[in-house]
Amino acid sequence: MPIIDLEATASIKELLKDSQNGTVDVNPTAYFQRFALNTSLTLNYGFRIEGNVDDELLKEIVDVERGVSNFRSTSNNWQDYIPLLRIIPKMNREAEEFRVRRDKYLTYLLDILKDRIAKGTNTPCITGNILKDPEAKLNEGKSAPSLIVRVRH
């Protein structure tokens, strides 16, 4: 698959460069995170983060998604099991902060794709196909836009 080949090549090249051809220790986690994120972005939005593993958007998305995963985790979300904890504002405030941060980059990514579609420069992708589908509706409410797709029978 071209997407996998591109991301694997980019990650290996940058790992070799940053490790000075293996003479300096580097933590490969950020390279794997970028690999996974760029693969997902390419499939869903038709583009990738061109920067290195220190790219601010990459760091923001990884940080927010890690936080969201922790809130959704059954082992970390005690308020699902102990209802009294739901009234503690700190937990709700943290979740809201992650939602706001997530909405910001999801809106940014969607706006880039919409702009590319309008200019005719977009790469085929899942979200682009949905946006172009006349039967799909975009729900742009209080939080980040989401797509509503009617399933055909």
Number of structural domains found in the chain: 1
- Runs of H (alpha helix) within the chain: 2-18, 29-45, 56-72, 89-119, 126-132
Domain that holds residue 108: 2-148
Mean pLDDT of the chain: 86
Which pTM was predicted?
Answer: 0.79
Per-residue pLDDT at 142: 54
Q: Specify if 153 maps to a domain.
A: no
Per-residue pLDDT at 149: 42
Q: Whole-angstrom Cα distance, residue 127 to residue 37?
A: 15
Q: Specify if 144 maps to a domain.
A: yes
Can you spell out the DSSP letters for 84-123? GGGG-HHHHHHHHHHHHHHHHHHHHHHHHHHHHHHHT-PP
Diameter of the chain measured on Cα atoms: 58
Tens digit of pLDDT for each residue in 91-126?
678 888 999 999 999 999 999 999 999 999 999 999
55 contact partners, CB below 8 Å, separation of at least 6: 34, 49
